[in-house]
């Protein structure tokens, strides 16, 4: 069997996003079953070759920036499509048809999200599997652009409506739908006979050996995203003042503009070269999600690495069979107390890391079972 994995940008997406992890999970899972998978999509401007298993439709810049160009706005409004789909209408339909024909005979398409199919409806003319995007990763048209805040809010609301409508249409037409969580399945009203939850899986964790942490508490994420920033603001405002002065804190990841530095003890590192290595440099990880929807990639990676963490209930959404190293806490006092307890336990070596490799392997096995079921339904 030969399937085409149609994704907006090659590779599937950031491997540190839920959508990127889901894309890699299904590609790897399909290939383990013997399915030939060819990736199709745009390449990042200036990026290296996408590889022998991929066909590029051409180069593309940042989709958020492209979405707010006047010609993109006009296309989206006139065609009633999401801005993220209008931003992808760079190559003409004839080029997409030629690219598909050049791939040779295929048995169907795997749609990585709905934006590319929204730009090119011909992708949904063949039998297809659908990977709905994680609702928490929808475009927010970040703060780098000059769009006024009130207009950005209107565009974000419109994007949510149009993406919802497109997802529901494609979910109804798909042979099988693989949402990343039960929450997304319920949101789309999916039929249990035509859908299965595909748990995103990260890269296999590397054996780490002895850890020598440089920080007591660490946090990792894209803090420019509104839902992530809310968790960071909550931590800085409500948790840090409750922590003892000797507790060191490091925050890694893309930082938003205008974030006030509230404590000298908090070290803002910005993006780091190796996310896994940074997390291993922290005695305890704080998972501070406050948003009410979507999955959190940092939570998944912490579990796969077997690292101890304190997490809000929102940060654990969509996660089952959590390792024993994860402590749940919601109120600020309870969260700060849990951090103190785990930091002391880790310093005194009475707290050991969990078996992240087993957690990863069990999650991978569960994903493979879902993929096998999807293939059976797709072919049946």
Sorted by sequence, the CB contacts under 8 Å of residue 132 that are 6+ apart come out as 113, 114, 167, 171, 177, 178, 179, 180, 184, 188
- Domain shared by 55 and 184, yes or no: yes
Residues recorded for the chain: 380
Q: Note down pLDDT in tens along the chain; length 380 residues.
A: 999 999 999 975 556 788 999 999 999 999 999 999 999 999 987 777 778 889 999 988 878 788 888 899 999 999 999 999 999 999 999 999 999 998 999 999 999 999 999 999 999 999 999 999 888 888 887 766 667 878 888 998 999 999 999 999 999 999 999 999 888 888 888 888 899 999 999 988 887 767 889 999 999 999 988 889 999 999 999 999 999 999 999 999 999 887 766 678 899 999 999 999 999 999 999 999 998 778 999 999 999 999 999 999 999 998 878 888 899 999 999 999 999 999 999 999 888 899 999 999 999 999 999 999 999 999 87
- Domain shared by 228 and 342, yes or no: yes
In a domain, 177, yes or no: yes
In a domain, 210, yes or no: no
Domain harbouring 58, CATH code: 3.40.50.2000
Closest CA to 167 of 35, 306, 365, 19: 19
Instruction: Give, in order, the Cα–Cα distances in Å from 59 to each of 23, 50, 128.
Output: 20, 11, 25
Sorted by sequence, the CB contacts under 8 Å of residue 364 that are 6+ apart come out as 25, 201
Q: Where are the alpha helices (DSSP H) in the chain?
A: 18-32, 63-67, 70-79, 83-86, 93-102, 115-119, 149-173, 182-187, 226-234, 275-280, 297-305, 332-347, 356-379
In a domain, 208, yes or no: no
Closest CA to 129 of 26, 261, 56: 26
What is the rounded distance in angstroms from the CA atom of residue 24 to the CA atom of residue 30? 10
Instruction: Map residue 297 onto helix, strand or coil.
Output: helix
Token output for 332: 């600020």
Range 170-201 burial, b when 16+ CB lie within 10 A, else e = bbeebbbbbbbbebbbebbebeeeebbbbbbb
- Domain shared by 192 and 259, yes or no: no
- Domain shared by 271 and 335, yes or no: yes
| pTM of the predicted protein model | 0.92
Number of structural domains (the chain) is: 2
Domain coverage including residue 249:
215-352
What is the rounded distance in angstroms from the CA atom of residue 347 to the CA atom of residue 357? 23
- Domain shared by 64 and 195, yes or no: yes
Token output for 347: 């310093």
- Domain shared by 165 and 310, yes or no: no
In a domain, 357, yes or no: no
């Amino acid at each position: 069997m030969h399937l085409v994995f149609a994704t907006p940008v090659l590779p599937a997406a950031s491997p540190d996003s839920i959508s990127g992890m889901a894309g890699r999970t299904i590609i790897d899972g399909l290939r383990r079953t013997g399915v030939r998978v060819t990736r199709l999509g745009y390449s990042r401007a200036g990026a290296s070759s996408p590889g022998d298993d991929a066909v590029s439709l051409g180069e593309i810049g940042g989709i958020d920036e492209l979405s707010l160009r006047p010609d993109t706005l006009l296309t989206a409004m006139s065609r009633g499509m999401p801005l993220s789909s209008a931003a992808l209408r760079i190559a003409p339909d004839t080029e997409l048809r030629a690219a598909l024909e050049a791939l040779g005979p295929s048995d169907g398409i795997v749609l990585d999200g709905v934006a590319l199919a929204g730009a090119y409806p011909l992708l949904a003319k063949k039998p297809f599997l659908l990977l709905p995007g994680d609702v928490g990763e929808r475009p927010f048209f970040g703060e780098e652009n000059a769009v006024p805040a009130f207009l950005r809010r209107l565009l974000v609301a419109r994007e949510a409506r149009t993406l919802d409508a497109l997802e529901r249409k494609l979910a109804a037409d798909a042979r099988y739908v693989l949402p990343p969580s039960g929450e997304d399945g319920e949101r789309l009203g999916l039929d249990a006979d035509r859908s299965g939850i595909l748990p995103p899986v990260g890269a296999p964790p590397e054996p780490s050996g002895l850890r020598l942490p440089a920080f007591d508490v660490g946090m990792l994420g894209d803090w420019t995203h509104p839902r992530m920033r809310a968790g960071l603001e909550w931590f800085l405002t409500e948790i840090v003042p409750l922590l003892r002065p000797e507790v060191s804190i490091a925050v890694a990841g893309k930082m938003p503009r205008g974030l006030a530095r509230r404590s000298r003890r908090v070290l803002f590192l910005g993006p780091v070269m190796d996310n896994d290595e940074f997390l291993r440099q922290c005695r305890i990880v704080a998972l501070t999600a406050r948003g009410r929807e979507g999955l959190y990639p940092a939570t998944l990676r912490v579990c796969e690495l077997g690292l101890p963490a304190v997490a809000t209930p929102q940060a654990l959404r969509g996660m089952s069979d959590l390792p024993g190293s994860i402590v749940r806490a919601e109120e600020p006092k309870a969260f700060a107390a849990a951090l103190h307890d785990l930091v002391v336990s880790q310093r005194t070596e009475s707290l050991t890391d969990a078996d992240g490799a087993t957690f990863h392997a069990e999650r991978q096995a569960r994903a493979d079972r879902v993929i096998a079921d999807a293939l059976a339904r797709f072919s049946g």
